[in-house]
Structure formats: structure tokens, C-alpha cells
Amino acid sequence: MFEIKRLISVLIVLQLITTACDSKTNSALNPNIKHNDVLVQQNKMPNEMPDDFNFLVRFGLGESRKNEINTYNNTVTKDLIIHGTATAKVAFTKEEKRNIYEKMREINIMGTKELIPTLPTDQSCDKTPYNEDSWQISVIGETKTLVWSDKNCEVTIDAKQLLELRTFIQKLVVGKEAYKELPEAEGGYD
């Protein structure tokens, strides 16, 4: 009797070990791993900024996304509202671009993003004017496009992260001499 209990105990332990090994193997093969009911995405962005890293962000009010920061061609476009737009050649230093890349890597910008609230709490909210950003990011041969808006008043955590990123980048641009030489905007949006 004692031998049967011992044998059963050994078999249970072996089963637990086998199950644990299987789940570790499956986790290693699956780039999107579930931990405590939260999907954790593997970050595909290399630790070091690749040579082909570039981005473009267009932003503004509503569909009037006339402001643009473009590292593909090192330009910045400013919305002058009633006077159209003005563009200047603006390039980031290697260190600035590396800092931007690191912030993008921190939020796993090349991963899956939830940019539209799944269940808005106030279905009647329709904000005018509203903010809208459109992103294009290129890293190691892959290009990703992201668009978010606060038209329906609510924004997701991922959209907030993109807004914080864009604000960080804007602060760098505003400090550039070529940007300071652009004309001031006149007028406003309703």
C-alpha cells in the first residue's frame, strides 16, 4: 500500500514538471505571452536604434492635420491657420533621435495598439474641434501606421502614450532655430 502511494506521488510530481515545461516551451514560441490575464507583447524593436529608423507624425485639429514632423526628409511643417502652412528643414541630432527611439521602444510602438476606446462611457460626446494624430514609423524594414483622435472625448492608454510622445518630440522641434524662424500662426479653429 505504501509503495502505491509513493508511486502515485512520484507520478503526480512528474506530471506537474511536464506540464510546467510544456507551458514554458509554448511561452518561448509565442511572442504574445499571457501573464495573469494580461497579454504581454514581445518588443520587436532592437535595443540599439537601427540606421533605418524614421518617423512622420501629422497632427492638428480634426482632419486639418497640417502640422508635421518628418524625419524621412528632415522637415517640419507648421500650420499657420489662415495663412496656410510653412515648412523648414529641421534635423534631430543623433542623441535626440536616439532618445525618441528609446521612448518609442518603451511604449512598444511597433506592437499592437488599442487606439479606439472599446466602450465609450459617453456615447453622445462629439468634441469639436478635436485633436487627431497620424503616425508612420519605420524600424528594421517594417513600417507601421497609427491614427488616434479624441473626437469622442475619450482616449485609450495607448493614444495617451502617443500624445505624450508627440508632445516630447514637439518640445525638441520648438527649440530648433529653423522652427523659430517660421512665421507665427494667425487665427483659430472653431
Q: Higher-confidence residue: 175 or 189?
A: 175
Banded pLDDT at 79 (limits 50, 70, 90):
very high
Most confident of 5-9, 102-106, 113-117, 181-185: 102-106
pLDDT in the model for residue 56: 98
Banded pLDDT at 32 (limits 50, 70, 90):
very low
pLDDT above 70 (res 124)? no
pLDDT in the model for residue 41: 65
pLDDT tens track for 36-69: 444 456 788 999 999 999 999 999 886 677 999 9
pLDDT in the model for residue 149: 87
pLDDT tens track for 139-175: 999 999 999 888 777 889 999 999 999 999 999 999 9
What's the per-residue H, E or C state across the chain? CHHHHHHHHHHHHHHHHHHHHHHHHHHHHCCEEEECCEEEECCCCCCCCCCCCEEEEEEEECCEEEEEEECCCCEEEEECECCCEEEEECCCCHHHHHHHHHHHHHCCCCCCCCCCCCCCCCCCCCCCCCEEEEEEEEECCEEEEEEEECCCCCCCHHHHHHHHHHHHHHHHHHCCHHHHCCCCCECCCC
Q: Higher-confidence residue: 33 or 10?
A: 10
Whole-model pTM over 0.95: no
